[in-house]
Amino acid sequence: AQKVTQAQTEISVVEKEDVTLDCVYETRDTTYYLFWYKQPPSGELVFLIRRNSFDEQNEISGRYSWNFQKSTSSFNFTITASQVVDSAVYFCAYSFSGNTPLVFGKGTRLSVIA
């Protein structure tokens, strides 16, 4: 069965620091998709990125960047120059179909302190 591990339960950084959230997955599927979602205190899960298993190119979107490495089964997420508004719980997720069902990690709670 597929499994997603986010070993960091909570991270606290000072504003403007860079922070990396780790995600390790286990699967025997050859085709799969990896996701990151952000959950602010309001509860809504905000979609950040989807990456398929054939695309190992790193991606950058503003202050966010993602590093996908199949060799280590990792899909890490870095926030550069963190801001207070980045404070949230971040979930890494897996899907074999591109959509559902999503298998989520336990999440990493990020607190950015001003």
Binding residues (CB under 8 A) for another protein: these are: 35, 37, 42-47, 50, 91, 93, 97-107
Judged by beta carbon, residue 43 or residue 62, the one nearer another protein is: 43
Judged by beta carbon, residue 33 or residue 82, the one nearer another protein is: 33
Min CB(32)–another protein separation in Å: 12
For 17, the token pair is 């620091």
Judged by beta carbon, residue 71 or residue 100, the one nearer another protein is: 100
Min CB(93)–another protein separation in Å: 8
Question: Using alpha carbons only, what angle is made at residue 38 by residues 45 and 23, rounded to the nearest 5 degrees?
Answer: 120
User: Whose CA is closest to 68, among 85, 44, 51?
Assistant: 51
Min CB(59)–another protein separation in Å: 14
